[in-house]
């Protein structure tokens, strides 16, 4: 099952919500960092698309993990920080139960 086809997934306007279950956990019992990075990438791309209607391509993505996630609802949100002719700088974060789990900064490219 792909990321977008997951039954516990919601995507809208720079926001991605996933209900993390056992299949999303690493051997330590916390949410896998790859899931959080994917959530941020999708939320940030959606924020770019919402801001200008383009379908963006990720150029660079830096994720800083602050706290481990646990099973339950995770929410990634993103906003365009700066827009150039072809490149956009986007910020994102993942939260769970009021705590920020990860921050991200990304560069996205859109057609000129």
CATH of the domain at 63: 3.10.129.10
Whether residue 1 has pLDDT greater than 50:
no
Q: What is the pTM of this model?
A: 0.87
Q: Is residue 42 part of a domain?
A: yes
Among candidate residues 2, 86, 3, the one with its CA nearest the CA of residue 40: 3
Determine, yes or no, domain membership for 24: yes
Judged against a pLDDT cut of 90, whether residue 12 lies above it is answered with no
Task: Kindly report the average pLDDT of the chain as a whole number.
Answer: 88
Number of C-beta neighbours around residue 80 at 10 A: 18
Total domain count, the chain: 1
Residue span of the structural domain in which 98 resides: 9-109
**Residue 70: its pLDDT value, please?**
94
Q: How far apart are CA 25 and CA 55, in angstroms?
A: 30
- 2 in a structural domain: no
Rounded Cα gap, residues 97 and 100, in angstroms:
9
Distance CA 70, CA 3 (A): 18
In a domain, 41, yes or no: yes
pLDDT value for 2: 46
Question: How many other C-beta atoms are found inside a 10 Å radius of the C-beta of residue 71?
Answer: 15
pLDDT per position as a tens digit, 33-67: 999 999 999 999 999 988 887 789 999 999 999 99
Q: What is the pLDDT of residue 112?
A: 74
CB 14 within 8 A of CB 79: yes
**Is there a domain that residue 1 lies in?**
no
């Amino acid at each position: 099952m792909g990321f977008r086809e997951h039954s516990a997934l919601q995507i809208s306007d720079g926001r991605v919500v996933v209900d993390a279950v056992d299949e999303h956990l690493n051997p330590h019992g916390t949410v896998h960092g790859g899931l959080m990075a994917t959530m941020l990438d999708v939320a940030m791309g959606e924020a770019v698309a919402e801001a200008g209607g383009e379908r963006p391509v990720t150029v660079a993505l830096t994720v800083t993990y602050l706290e481990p996630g646990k099973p339950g609802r995770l929410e990634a949100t993103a906003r365009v920080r700066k827009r150039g002719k072809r490149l956009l700088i986007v910020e994102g974060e993942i939260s769970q139960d009021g705590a920020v789990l990860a921050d991200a900064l990304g560069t996205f490219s859109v057609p000129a």
